Amino acid sequence: LAKTTQPISMDSYEGQEVNITCSHNNIATNDYITWYQQFPSQGPRFIIQGYKTKVTNEVASLFIPADRKSSTLSLPRVSLSDTAVYYCLVGDRTGGFKTIFGAGTRLFVKA
Partner 1 sequence: DTGVSQDPRHKITKRGQNVTFRCDPISEHNRLYWYRQTLGQGPEFLTYFQNEAQLEKSRLLSDRFSAERPKGSFSTLEIQRTEQGDSAMYLCASSLNAPAGARSNSPLHFGNGTRLTVT
User: CB of residue 54 vs partner 1: minimum separation in angstroms?
Assistant: 16
Least Cβ distance, residue 86 to partner 1 (angstroms)? 10
Cβ atoms 69, 23 nearer than 8 A = yes
Given the complex with partner 1, which of 29 and 41 has the nearer CB atom? Answer: 41
Question: Distance between CA atoms of 66 and 54, rounded to whole angstroms?
Answer: 10
Q: Based on CB atoms, which residue is closest to partner 1, 18 or 85?
A: 85
> Which residues in this chain contact partner 1 in the complex, by CB under 8 A?
32, 34, 36, 41-46, 49, 85, 87, 93-95, 97-104
Residue 50 C-beta: closest distance to partner 1, Å: 9
Query: What separation, in Å, do the N-terminal and C-terminal C-alpha atoms of the chain show?
Result: 39
Closest to 36 measured CA to CA, from 81, 93, 78, 90: 90
